[in-house]
Amino acid sequence: MKLAVFGNPIEHSLSPRIHTLFAQQTGVEIEYDKILAPVDGFAETAQNFINQGGKGFNVTVPFKIDAFNLATKHSINAQTAGAVNTIKVDGDALIGENTDGIGLLNDLTKNLEIDLQNKIVLILGAGGATRGILLPLLQQQPARVMIANRTASKATQLAKAFKPYGETCGFGLEKIKNDLVDIIINATSASLDGQMPNIATGIANNAICYDLMYGKQTPFMDWAQDNNASMVVDGLGMLVEQAASAFEFWTGKQPETQAVIEAIRALND
């Protein structure tokens, strides 16, 4: 089965390694490549791959919106996220899925054994990453999901859009108080820039703090540890879990993720 991941940049991607491990585990034969697409040429590059027999592909930054537009059908996760990170070629149809939220959910509930029901969840950031994880989170029936963003209006608009799926609210980062929350998810790009949003420190007390970024200790993780978080986790488990969901979407085989998470973490250390 001919598979790939598209991005720009793409050299850093761990996807080929992860999917090779899944293939070895499940006995599925795959050929999985990293493809650098021009910033303004994603659709053409993807179409060339399909014409050469490509059966599915992952999509990373900055092409998730382009992938949404390329897909001819969308899952409910892709529809609500407004972005696609996985496409399956099914005859003439290109089925778009977004496995980011499923990946986060599986890491939280299966690997970390966190029950989200009736919990208060605070998400930092209101961009595409947050939009991608909101529906699966809300389907777990937390007491409330709060979205805090530097631009408050973006957070309130996003919260309003997801109101039909559960209890949500949005506000500016400066409105965060030292109230108790159960889980804090950092979905901002601040970790990429080596920064930490300036927010009230008391909010981390006894909270589970999860950074969507992986591969290194982030300023958010340092902040959480310094402010008495009960658990501090990076997004490597989410990366492997969203890949597992994509692998199953393409092949029908559900891989075991724990050993792969450990192998990739050892590779990164």
Catalytic residue among 34, 55, 64, 163: 64
Tokens of 31: 């050929």
- E strand map for 37-151: 56-59, 73-74, 86-90, 93-97, 120-124, 144-149
- Distance CA(240)–CA(203), nearest Å, equals 28
Sheet holding 168-172, edge to edge: 168-172, 144-149, 120-124, 183-186, 208-211, 231-233
- Distance CA(88)–CA(46), nearest Å, equals 12
Q: In a 3-state reduction of DSSP, which class is residue 100?
A: helix
64 annotated active-site: yes
Nearest CA-CA partner of 58 in 106, 16, 11: 16
AA identity, residue 88: K
> For every residue of 129-154, which 3-state class applies, written as one string?
HHHHHHHHHHCCCCCEEEEEECCHHH
DSSP state of 112: S
> For every residue of 152-210, which 3-state class applies, written as one string?
HHHHHHHHHHCHHHCCEEEEEHHHCCCCCCCEEEECCCCCCCCCCCCCCHHHHCCCEEE
AA identity, residue 195: Q
Q: Which residues are marked as active site?
A: 64
